[in-house]
A = this chain, B = another copy of it.
């Protein structure tokens, strides 16, 4: 089988560009015992991929130069030498930016077509959904009547965070980029308010939207949005730190002054709790997550939007789009 794949050609300085990627063609290897041949149907495009392109220390090793870019996928099984997995099955895998892959059949999760659209398993029913569910409920620990603010509110994670916070009977305020996303967040997702982080009056807008202050801030972006949130956090507020996408393309630190002490002083005087997390820390909660979120989807309590491009060649452009906030909904590549 002829496989086309995209490898990391060079490490980006700042924003990734087309030259950092290379499309290659290769013959797939014959199947060994316990392996399967997969055909990619959907590839998930997520902000964390920017981190894998750098060799700065992180929670996961970087993609090597010349290696295929990593990523979650939904695949069809073409051939199988793994008991229990049959040709024709659809599985959730982590085969990255390529059309075919030969991998071990262990650890593949078989999907039930009746559970909804397959692509949902890369979003609301996949890693982004679990990220939202586990981070909000375990670290944010929202209580009824509290105010929850989420940045990247129209994104794959943020949109689910806000809707679960509504289900948890909180006042929910989103922060998103541009009037179209803000309108969708309030009108379609049912957030109580959404403010535009591109507005010159972000700080005032957010303050007006949070008359009782902020009890939980689900952090996806960092930078100026964090600066606007900080003065509004109530005593004992919790901040699950899920991402700081505004910083991923930074090749040098922003100009001064050094505001670190502003953050530390807020942590001290208002007894804040900041806690970073990664979805893989919470895989044990996958069954609870699937049960709860599938239920909420079927009851119409959670809505979900996808932003789909077609063809492997468009994966680099899709990643650049996610990193700059140009996407609208969960970014996917369809093969």
Q: Which residues of A contact B (CB under 8 A)?
A: 51, 57-59, 219, 222-223, 226, 235, 241-244, 247, 250, 252-278, 281
Question: Which residues on B sit within 8 Å (CB–CB) of A269?
Answer: 51, 57-59, 276
Closest to A247 in B: B261
Judge whether B256 and A257 touch: CB under 8 Å.
yes
In the complex, what residue of chain B is closest to A268 when comparing beta carbons? B276
Which residue from B51, B226, B243 sits with its C-beta under 8 Å from A260?
Answer: B226
Tell me whether B273 and A275 are in contact (CB under 8 A): yes
Given the interface contacts A255-B258, A260-B226, A261-B222, does A274 sit within 8 Å of B278 by beta carbon? Answer: no
Whether A254 lies near B261 (C-beta < 8 A) is yes
Take A253-B257, A259-B253 as given contacts and tell me if A247 and B271 are in contact as well, using a CB distance cutoff of 8 Å: no
Q: A258-B258, A270-B276 are in contact. Are A264 and B241 (CB under 8 A)?
A: yes
Nearest CB of chain B from residue A56's CB, rounded to whole Å:
9
The minimal Cβ–Cβ distance linking A270 to chain B, given in whole angstroms, is 7
In the A-B complex, the 9 residue pairs with the smallest Cβ-Cβ separation, listed nearest first, are A256-B256, A253-B257, A267-B276, A268-B276, A274-B274, A271-B276, A273-B275, A247-B261, A254-B258
- CB A313 to nearest CB in B, in angstroms, measures 31
Whether the pair B277, A271 counts as a contact (CB closer than 8 A) is: yes
A276 near B272 with CB under 8 A, answer yes
Known contacts A264-B226, A276-B267, A259 near B257 by CB under 8 Å: no
Other-chain contact of A263, B219, B223, B263 (Cβ < 8 Å): B263
Q: What are 23 A-B contacts with C-beta separation under 8 Å? A: A51-B269, A57-B269, A59-B269, A222-B260, A223-B261, A226-B264, A247-B261, A253-B256, A253-B258, A254-B257, A254-B258, A255-B256, A256-B257, A257-B258, A258-B258, A259-B260, A260-B260, A260-B262, A263-B263, A270-B276, A271-B275, A273-B274, A273-B276
Q: Determine the chain B residues whose CB is within 8 A of the CB of A277 once the complex forms.
A: 271
Report chain B residues within 8 Å CB of A242.
268
Bound-state CA distance A297–B226 (Å) is: 44
Q: How far is the CA of A270 from the CA of B268 in the complex (A)?
A: 21
Q: Which residue of B lies closest to A227 (CB)?
A: B260
A235 to B280, CA, bound (A): 13
Asked if residues A275 and B265 are in contact (CB atoms below 8 Å), the reply is no
Question: Closest Cβ of chain B: how far from A49's Cβ, in Å?
Answer: 14
